[in-house]
Amino acid sequence: MMRGENCGGCIMLEPSFTLLDSNKACGKLLRTRASKSGQSTPILLVNIGQLVTLRSGSGNSGPRRGRELRELGIVEHGAVLCVGGKIVSVGTMKEATRDSWIKKHSNKIREIDCSHKVVLPGFVDSHTHPAFISPRLTDFEKRIAGASYEEIAAAGGGIRSSIDSVRRAGKSALTEKVLDALNAVASHGTTTVEAKSGYGLSLDAELKSLQAIQVASKQWPGTVVSTLLGAHVVPPEYQDNRREYVSLVCEEMIPQTAKRKLAQFVDVFCDRGAFSEEDSLKILGAARQNGLQVRAHISQLTRTPLERVLSLNPLSIDHLDHVSDSDIALLARSNTMATLVPGANYFLGLGDYPPARKLIDAGAAVALATDYNPGSSPTPSMPFVLSLACTQMKMSPAEAITAATINGAFALGLAQNKGSLEPGKDADMVIFDVEDYRELPYWIASSRIDTVIANGTIIE
C-alpha cells in the first residue's frame, strides 16, 4: 500500500490550502485544495480490475527512460481514496480501504465500483494550441489534393490564415474556443493540458490569447499550463523585417507576459520557414532572462542541431522528426524531454514518424502529446495518439502510457503533483471501460472512457 508516511496515515500539504473538516483522518489534519467548483466530495474507487499507478518500480524520481517506460506499477483488484482533490491512499482493496476514517465517513464518501475496469492517472497533454477560432478546411482540401505544408503556407494558408480571425476576435469568443478545447480533451481522458498562444502574433493578440487561456482554465476543473508562442511564424507585416519581429517578441511580448504572469513557458518554432536557430536562441534566452521556462518546436521539417538549444535546459523539445543520431545521444544525456506528436505526422500524411524506438533505446526520456491545432493535428484524443505511437512508432502500449502520463508531467515540471497515482498527488484519474490497459491503443478511434476525475471533481 502506498500512503503518505509523514503523519502515520495522512498527508500534510501546503498550509495555504483550504482546510476541509472531512479531512480529520487519523485524528490529524489533512490540508487540501478545494476544487474550482467548490470543495469536492471524497471519492473511493473500489474493486478496480487493473489499477495502473505509474509508481516508479526503482524509486527513480526523475523522467522515465529505457526499461522504466514499461513499469506501470499495476495493482490488481485495487482501490483509491481521494479527499479534497488529493489522493490519500492507493493499493489493493484490502490495503486501501482498511482506514477507519472510511468507515466513519462512509455517508460522505462517493463510492464508485470499478469492477472489470482499468483506472489510470489522467493523461497529461503537454503540447496543444487551443487559442484559435476556426478549423482550416480549405487547407485540408488542398493537402488532400497534393499540396505540401510549405506550399499551403506560401499560398497564404497555414498558421497565417488563423491570424486574422484571432486578431479580430473578442476575448470572450476566444475564451469560449479554448474552453471548448479543454472540454474536448477531457472527454478523451486528459486532465492536465499545456496550452499555447501563437495565432495572434501581435503584442495585443498574443496577450489576449494568453488571457483567454487563463480565463478558460479557471472555468475548467483540470489543470492548465500556459505558454507564449509569439514566435510561431513571422506575421505577414514583418515578412521583410523578421529581425524587428524577433525584437518585438524579445523586448515586448516576453517581458509583458512575465510581468502579467500570463504564462509559465516560452516556446519557439525553430525550423525552415519559421525561426532560425539564432533567432530561437535569442528568444529563448530572453525568456530565461525574464524568469520564464523554455520549450521548443524543433526538427519537424528539417534538422536543427540540438546542442545549443539544450544548453538552455528546455524542459521539453517537441516533434524531432529529423533528429540525428548525435542529437539523440545528446538528448539521452540531458534532462530534457523528447516530446513526440504523431498526430501531426498522421494528419499531414507524412508517412514517416519520429524515431521513438531509437530515442527510447538510446535512453532519452520520451513523452507523447496531441499537438492539438487547426492546421496539422486537429485531435483532442490522447488514446488516438497512443494508437499511433504503438502502430506507427513501435512503442509498446506500456511505453506509450508512461509517455502520456508521468513523462508528460515531467515535460511540464508538474511531476510532483501529476502523472501517477500516489498519495499526496492531485486526484486526476480516468476510469476506462476495458479490462486491460493494452486495449487503450488497441481500440482505434473508439472512446472507452467511463469517468474522468480532475483535481477530485468528476467531469465526465
* Cβ at position 129, least distance to Zn ion in Å: 6
Tell me the residue nearest to Zn ion as measured from the CB: 371
Whichever of 139 and 371 has its CB closer to Zn ion, that residue is 371
* Cβ at position 217, least distance to Zn ion in Å: 19
Whichever of 130 and 456 has its CB closer to Zn ion, that residue is 130
* Cβ at position 65, least distance to Zn ion in Å: 23
Residue 68 found at the interface with Zn ion (CB under 5 A): no
**Cα–Cα distance measured from residue 335 to residue 22, given in angstroms and rounded to the nearest whole number:** 40
Whichever of 279 and 371 has its CB closer to Zn ion, that residue is 371
Around 138, how many Cα atoms within 13 Å sit in the side-chain half-sphere? 10
Whichever of 4 and 200 has its CB closer to Zn ion, that residue is 200
* Cβ at position 296, least distance to Zn ion in Å: 10
Contacts with Zn ion in 420-449 (CB under 5 A)?
Answer: none
Whichever of 139 and 426 has its CB closer to Zn ion, that residue is 139
**Cα–Cα distance measured from residue 338 to residue 320, given in angstroms and rounded to the nearest whole number:** 8
DSSP string, 10-50: S----TTSPB-GGG-GGGS--B-PPBTTBSPPPEEEEEEEE
Binding mask 4-33 for Zn ion (x = CB under 5 A): ------------------------------
* Cβ at position 5, least distance to Zn ion in Å: 40
H-type helices in 242-381, by residue range?
242-248, 254-259, 277-289, 307-310, 325-332, 342-347, 356-362
Residues in contact with Zn ion, counted by CB under 5 A, come to a total of 1
Q: Rounded to the nearest 10 degrees, how much is the dihedral formed by the CA atoms of 138, 129, 376, 378?
A: -80
> What angle (nearest 5°) sits at the alpha carbon of residue 264, between those of residues 257 and 202?
35
Biggest distance spanned by C-alpha atoms of the chain = 71
Binding mask 238-277 for Zn ion (x = CB under 5 A): ----------------------------------------
- Name the one residue in this structure whose C-alpha cell is 497555414: 158
**Cα–Cα distance measured from residue 424 to residue 442, given in angstroms and rounded to the nearest whole number:** 32
**Cα–Cα distance measured from residue 357 to residue 52, given in angstroms and rounded to the nearest whole number:** 23
* Cβ at position 127, least distance to Zn ion in Å: 6
Residues contacting residue 267 through CB under 8 Å, at least 6 positions apart: 196, 198, 227, 228, 229, 231, 294, 295, 296, 297
Whichever of 298 and 386 has its CB closer to Zn ion, that residue is 298
Helix (H, G, I), strand (E, B) or coil at 127: strand
Residue positions counted in the chain: 460
**Cα–Cα distance measured from residue 89 to residue 110, given in angstroms and rounded to the nearest whole number:** 15
Whichever of 371 and 428 has its CB closer to Zn ion, that residue is 371
Binding mask 340-379 for Zn ion (x = CB under 5 A): -------------------------------x--------
- Name the one residue in this structure whose C-alpha cell is 506509450: 400
Whichever of 99 and 371 has its CB closer to Zn ion, that residue is 371
Whichever of 327 and 371 has its CB closer to Zn ion, that residue is 371
* Cβ at position 319, least distance to Zn ion in Å: 7
* Cβ at position 267, least distance to Zn ion in Å: 8
Q: What are the cell numbers at 89?
A: 491512499
* Cβ at position 370, least distance to Zn ion in Å: 9
Binding site for Zn ion (CB under 5 A): 371
